Amino acid sequence: MIATLEGILEYRAGGSVIVNVGGVGFRVYVPDSTSRKLGTAGGKVSLYTHLHVREDNISLYGFVSSEELALFRNLISVSGVGSKVALALLSALSPEQLIMAITSGDIDLISQTPGIGKKMAGRLVIELRGKLEKEWKEVALPLVREAADVIAALTGLGYSLTEATKAISKLPASEELSLEEKVRMALQQLGGG
């Protein structure tokens, strides 16, 4: 029904934004990754959207890319995974990291997301592995695998999944860096230096 939304970013708060489209403010629930990419209030934004209708609620979910929207729809197709859980997954991990974790069966990485236990992570892997492998062939899994290894190392040192993901997003994309060098650079990011 509502496939895209383009307007002015009015307000941003706790997992949602208000987008003014021709004088009408739409509340759109977004993952943290999308929220960070939208810029400041007053700026023009464009979102791919998913309208979720239940008998007691109508909600609009927004994403900066059609790939994120497709992954969100795949996630909510899994029994027991609702919109809030799907947003939590997309907030904690980039689409590439999440796809890699599901297709490689990395239940430990998936279950580090708040609200996701090992049982739910296992269900995601079982129900989505084959589907995502077919749909996301272009994802550079070796590079993403390396990022997942850095995340695993950082979370093993006590950092949260969100902190680890933010730290590796600031690392240079270089195949020449070893795992140890990437972990060291991520630790420097986390240490503020």
Residues 3/48, Cβ–Cβ less than 8 Å: yes
Token pair in block for residue 52: 């979720």
- The CATH class for the domain spanning 141-190 reads mainly alpha
- Which pLDDT score is estimated for 140? 43
Residues of the chain with pLDDT under 70: 136-146, 161-162, 173-175, 192-193
- Can you say whether residue 164 is alpha, beta or left, with left for phi > 0 and alpha for psi between -120 and 50 degrees? alpha
Domain extent listing, the chain: 4-63, 74-90+99-135, 141-190
**Phi/psi of residue 94, nearest 5 degrees:** -70, 160
Topology (CATH) of 4-63: OB fold (Dihydrolipoamide Acetyltransferase, E2P) (2.40.50)
Distance between CA atoms of 78 and 67, rounded to whole angstroms?
17
- Which pLDDT score is estimated for 90? 92
- Which pLDDT score is estimated for 192? 64
> 96: which residues sit within 8 A by CB, 6+ positions away?
139, 140, 144, 147
Distance between CA atoms of 157 and 95, rounded to whole angstroms?
24
- Which pLDDT score is estimated for 137? 62
- Which pLDDT score is estimated for 30? 95
- Which pLDDT score is estimated for 19? 95
- Which pLDDT score is estimated for 164? 76
Topology (CATH) of 74-90+99-135: DNA polymerase; domain 1 (1.10.150)
- Which pLDDT score is estimated for 174? 67
Distance between CA atoms of 121 and 102, rounded to whole angstroms?
8
